[in-house]
Amino acid sequence: MDIYAIGDLHLPGGTGKNMDIFGKEWKNHQENIAESWDETVGGDDLVLIPGDFSWAMRLEETRKDFSWLRERPGSKVMIRGNHDFWWNSVSKVREAVPECTFIIQNDSLVLDDIGFGGARYWEDPDVSWPLRKDISKKAEKALREKDVSPDEGKALLERELQRLRMSMETLPESLRVKIAILHYPPVGIDGVSRAAEILEDYGTDICVFGHIHAADRSKISEETFEVHGVTYYPVSADFLGFKLKKIDIDI
C-alpha cells in the first residue's frame, strides 16, 4: 500500500464557485487533479484528504463531488476543513461518502500497522505562512475566517486542540508509523504551535496539512521538512501543482 495526499480540492458542490481568485493556475483544477490521481494511485493505495473537499453548503449538494471521488482509484481518508460547511453530523457524512472512504473526527484509523489521527484544527496566531505578492485582495479576504470574533476563534482553537489530542490518544503506541492529518498548518516558517507539541507528545512520525493557498514558494526551501522529529507535508492542491504527493513511510 502506497500513501498519497492532496488537500483543498474545493470541488464545486453544485454552487458554481471556482478558485480563479487564487490565480490562473486553478483553471481546470478538478480535471488536473483527476488526471494526476488516476495516473498515480493504484487500487490498493490510500489517499489522504486534509479538508476543504467541497464548496457545498449542505450534504445533499455533495452528490456530484462524491461521485467524482468514487471514480478515483484507491481508498481515501478525509478530515473536515474550514470551508466544508456541508460536514455537520459525522454519522450522516459517513453514510454519504463513497465506499472505502474513511472519516476521522475525534477518533482514528489503523491500516496495515499504520495509524491515522487528526483534526480540522484552527487558525493559530503562532503559525504563519507568507502569501504571494500578487495575491488579490479578494483572495486574501477569502483566506480569513468569516464571522468569527477573536473570542470565538480562541474557543474554536481550544476545542480543536482537544479534538486532536482525543484522536491521537486512541492510536496504539505499538504502531509502526503514526500519521496525523490536519487542515490548518501546525507549523510555519517562523514558529510551531501547541498542536505540534501534541503531535510530538504522541510520537507522531508524519503530519500532512492543507489550507496554505497562495503561499509564497520562493520563501519555502523544501516541500517537506522536519521539526522535532515530525516530518511535515504541506499538501494544498495548488502548493503541489495539483499533483498528488507520495508520503514516505520508510521509517
The CATH number of residue 205's host domain is: 3.60.21.10
Distance CA 12, CA 79 (A): 18
pLDDT computed for residue 143 by the predictor = 73
Residue 94 forms part of a structural domain: yes
Residue 251 forms part of a structural domain: no
pLDDT computed for residue 14 by the predictor = 79
pLDDT per residue of the chain (251 residues) written in tens, 0 to 9: 999 999 999 999 877 787 888 888 999 999 999 999 999 999 999 999 999 999 999 999 999 999 999 999 999 999 999 999 999 999 999 999 999 999 999 999 999 999 999 999 999 988 988 888 888 888 877 777 667 888 999 999 999 999 999 999 999 999 999 999 999 999 987 778 999 999 999 999 999 999 998 888 888 877 889 999 999 999 999 999 999 999 998 75
Query: What range defines the domain where residue 110 resides?
Result: 3-246
Q: What is the tally of structural domains in the chain?
A: 1
Distance CA 195, CA 157 (A): 10
pLDDT computed for residue 75 by the predictor = 98
Residue 75 forms part of a structural domain: yes
Q: For residue 77, what are the β-bridge partners?
A: 48, 102
pLDDT computed for residue 145 by the predictor = 65
pLDDT computed for residue 16 by the predictor = 78
- Say if strands 206-209 and 230-234 run parallel, antiparallel, or are unpaired: parallel
Distance CA 161, CA 197 (A): 10
**What beta strand segments (E) does the chain contain?**
3-5, 46-50, 75-79, 101-103, 109-111, 114-119, 177-182, 206-209, 225-227, 230-234, 245-246
Per DSSP, 213 falls in state T
pLDDT computed for residue 242 by the predictor = 96
